[in-house]
Amino acid sequence: KKAILAGFFPHSAKLQKNGSYRRVKEPQTVYVHPNSGLFGASPSKWLVYHELVLTTKEYMRHTTEMKPEWLIEIAPHYYELKDIEDTRPKKKQRRSERASTSKVDTNKTTPDQPHD
């Protein structure tokens, strides 16, 4: 699998929430071809493919599973760590941290407010 990836490293794609794939370095949505052995199987999070075929959608043909860390190992001149990191959980965490620090405690009394 690493040998295949070494030859086709620009052809990598990551699974999206809706079941499609997104090319790692290009803003393009692609799908597993219906004739593929991986079609309908439990989706792999990362794939490398040989070619794209355009019919009703952009379909990946000749696909195989891969590990994202192989991209950095095999093509460090092309991929960076940020390309393979999943940043969504970090963003959600940051938002919740910001929300908790920006909340004002309305139960605290101030010198102007009467006490119960």
**Rounded distance between C-alpha atoms, residue 95 and residue 100, angstroms:** 9
pLDDT in tens, 12-44: 999 999 999 999 998 899 999 988 878 877 788
**Rounded distance between C-alpha atoms, residue 63 and residue 12, angstroms:** 10
Cβ atoms of 7 and 29 closer than 8 Å: no
Cβ atoms of 39 and 49 closer than 8 Å: no
Provide the pLDDT for residue 102. Answer: 47
pTM of the model: 0.68
Within 13 Å of residue 71, how many CA atoms lie on the same side as its CB? 24
